[in-house]
């Protein structure tokens, strides 16, 4: 798990979210309102759900494009559970949530490191 949670507000523009991703060298951010997880926004979401549709990334919000109500795991969940959820839901990132608050994210890269 990557414990450094990188999040943007639901009202952040897609340009702002992309700039955060570039600065952090990551492919996705959590979308959070205060301490409450709203969704997950990836570079692919921005590309396919906004830019490819001709939407203006300066005016479209993260809330409008993110995957709402994402599949999540808890910090004490087994690695096998994370792998199963990623397969079942065809996702590459799982937010790690404790008491409704995002505390990290598990990615395919994290899984590869853990299994090697």
Say if residue 95's pLDDT is above 80. yes
* CA–CA distance, 54 with 116 (Å, rounded to integer): 42
Q: What is the pLDDT of residue 111?
A: 79
Measured in residues, the chain has a length of 116
Contact, 7 vs 32, CB < 8 A? yes
Does the domain at residues 7-115 carry the CATH identifier 3.90.550.10?
no
Q: What is the pLDDT of residue 112?
A: 77
* CA–CA distance, 63 with 16 (Å, rounded to integer): 12
What is the three-state SS of 15-49? Answer: HHHHHHHHHHCCCEEEEEECCEEEEEEEHHHHHHH
Q: What is the pLDDT of residue 87?
A: 93
Q: What is the pLDDT of residues 43-53, one digit of tens each?
A: 999 999 999 99
* CA–CA distance, 68 with 43 (Å, rounded to integer): 15
The β-bridge partners of 41 are 29
The residues spanned by each domain of the chain are 7-115
Q: Tokens for 74, please give them.
A: 């808890």
Q: What is the pLDDT of residues 11-39, one digit of tens each?
A: 999 999 999 999 999 999 999 999 899 99
* CA–CA distance, 5 with 93 (Å, rounded to integer): 12
Say if residue 9's pLDDT is above 90. yes
Q: What is the pLDDT of residues 56-93, one digit of tens each?
A: 999 999 999 999 999 999 999 998 899 999 999 999 89
């Amino acid at each position: 798990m990557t414990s450094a949670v990188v999040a943007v507000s639901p009202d952040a523009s897609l340009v702002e979210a992309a700039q955060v991703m570039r600065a952090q060298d990551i492919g996705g951010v959590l979308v959070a309102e205060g301490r409450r997880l709203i969704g997950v926004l990836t570079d692919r979401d921005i590309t396919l759900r906004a830019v490819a549709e001709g939407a203006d990334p300066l005016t479209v919000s993260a809330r409008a494009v993110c995957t709402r109500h994402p599949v999540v795991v808890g910090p004490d969940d087994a690695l096998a559970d994370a792998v199963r959820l990623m397969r079942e839901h065809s996702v590459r990132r799982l937010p790690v949530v404790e008491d409704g608050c995002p505390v990290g994210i598990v990615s395919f890269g994290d899984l590869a490191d853990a299994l090697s």
